[in-house]
Amino acid sequence: MQLGWKEMWRQKRKFSMLFVITLMIVMLTTLITGLADGLAYDNGSALHELNVSTYRLDKDSDGQLTRSFLDVPTDASTETMSVRPLTVTIDGKKEEVTLFALPSGSKIGPVEGLQKGEVVFDSSLSENVKIGDTLTDFVSAYDFTIAGEALGRYSHGPVLYTTNETWFDYLRYSEQRPYVSAVIGAHDSASDTLTMSQQEIIESVPGYSAEQSTFTMMRAFLLVIGTFILTAFFYLFTLQKLPELGILKAIGLSPRIIGQALLFQVIVIVSSAVAASIAIMYIADAVIPSSMPFIVDIGHVSLFGSMFIILSILGAFLPLWKLRQIDAIEIIGGKAS
């Protein structure tokens, strides 16, 4: 390892260049991870924030709460929730929102203490909305009164939280058949319903899976490209050093010492690049405007960082193999006589 460290220390320019290239590749991967996590959160944060583990939906809903229409349970103790996209007007301007109706007596979401007709809004709805303002459903002309503020986004749009009492009042007012979107916390599934976990519900949000799989593919490609570049660099470095390494082999120095030095360098460079990129992510998180969906999920970033380190170590086996193949005689200066 000392051999590897001395080489890095005394050939700073060469290894700094390699570090910068590695850092840029890792940063690209981690920034995309931050963006993917931000978009994932933006797509389903309202569901993330709900204290619900199991949902029972309409069998034909494809797991989408907005497509699920269940009869209102007759048992009053059964907890339900309803989700519906609405177009509301604020000072004559139309905005797309998603209404989340939750049981008022429970601590599932931020609806405790709300009176009939009152809603809690996500601040991304509009900067001009304040408590006491009225939002009007464009289709039914039902008025919702703003009573509070809480984070919550669904399918990249703001959420209005309200109580089931307001929900049924809204349906009555707009002369619609009463229904609920899901029975929550229920484990006994009827044949005409679909039981889903919170994660499954989030993954069923429109566009969520397509969005995340695109990012996953990008990250996978970046990992592979990064590994190739790093392997190519270390392979070229090894080729440059063949005369000296050939002499050491002829002298009888264990190839393990040379191999350990190379592995040490790969691990140090990639690990430092991963650590630096995580630090840069935190800085980016602080300076990026809040309107841009970006989240530092240290678990996710560490996972991709670890994968990069592991792939780079695997990539280092190519130059290691080259080291083993060195023909000392050829390097010393001749094939036979």
Closest approach of another protein to the CB of residue 230, in Å: 20
Other C-beta atoms lying within 10 Å of the C-beta of residue 299: 7
Residue nearer to another protein on the CB measure, 116 or 324: 324
Q: Contacts with another protein in 292-321 (CB under 8 A)?
A: none
Among 13, 94, 177, 335, binds another protein (CB under 8 A): 335
Return the CA Rg of the chain.
Answer: 29
Among 131, 225, 310, 329, binds another protein (CB under 8 A): 329
Q: Are 155 and 40 in contact (CB under 8 A)?
A: no
Closest approach of another protein to the CB of residue 9, in Å: 8
Tokens 């089931």 correspond to what residue? 164
Residue 328 engages another protein in binding (rule: CB under 8 A): yes
Residue nearer to another protein on the CB measure, 123 or 254: 254
CA torsion through residues 223, 224, 229, 232, sign: positive
Q: Contacts with another protein in 2-61 (CB under 8 A)?
A: 3, 6-7, 10-11
Closest approach of another protein to the CB of residue 1, in Å: 13
Three-state DSSP at 154 gives: strand
Q: Contacts with another protein in 218-247 (CB under 8 A)?
A: 243-244, 246-247
Residue nearer to another protein on the CB measure, 250 or 280: 250
Helix (H), strand (E) at residue 93: strand 93-102
Residue 150 engages another protein in binding (rule: CB under 8 A): no
Closest approach of another protein to the CB of residue 328, in Å: 6
Q: Contacts with another protein in 247-286 (CB under 8 A)?
A: 247-248, 250-254, 257
As beta bridge partners, residue 82 has 101
Q: Helix 12-49 to helix 2-10 angle, to the nearest 10 degrees?
A: 100
Tell which residue, 234, 239, 230, 231, has the closest CA to residue 261.
234
Closest approach of another protein to the CB of residue 260, in Å: 13
CA distance linking residue 53 with residue 202, whole number of Å:
12
Residue nearer to another protein on the CB measure, 279 or 336: 336
Tell which residue, 53, 22, 135, has the closest CA to residue 88.
135
Residue nearer to another protein on the CB measure, 248 or 301: 248
Residue 210 engages another protein in binding (rule: CB under 8 A): no
125-127-131-132 Cα dihedral, nearest 10 degrees: -90
Helix (H), strand (E) at residue 9: helix 2-10
Closest approach of another protein to the CB of residue 320, in Å: 17
Q: Are 9 and 260 in contact (CB under 8 A)?
A: no
Q: Contacts with another protein in 53-112 (CB under 8 A)?
A: none
CA distance linking residue 205 with residue 82, whole number of Å:
14
Closest approach of another protein to the CB of residue 331, in Å: 8
Closest approach of another protein to the CB of residue 238, in Å: 14
| Binding positions for another protein, rule: CB under 8 A | 3, 6-7, 10-11, 243-244, 246-248, 250-254, 257, 328-329, 332-337
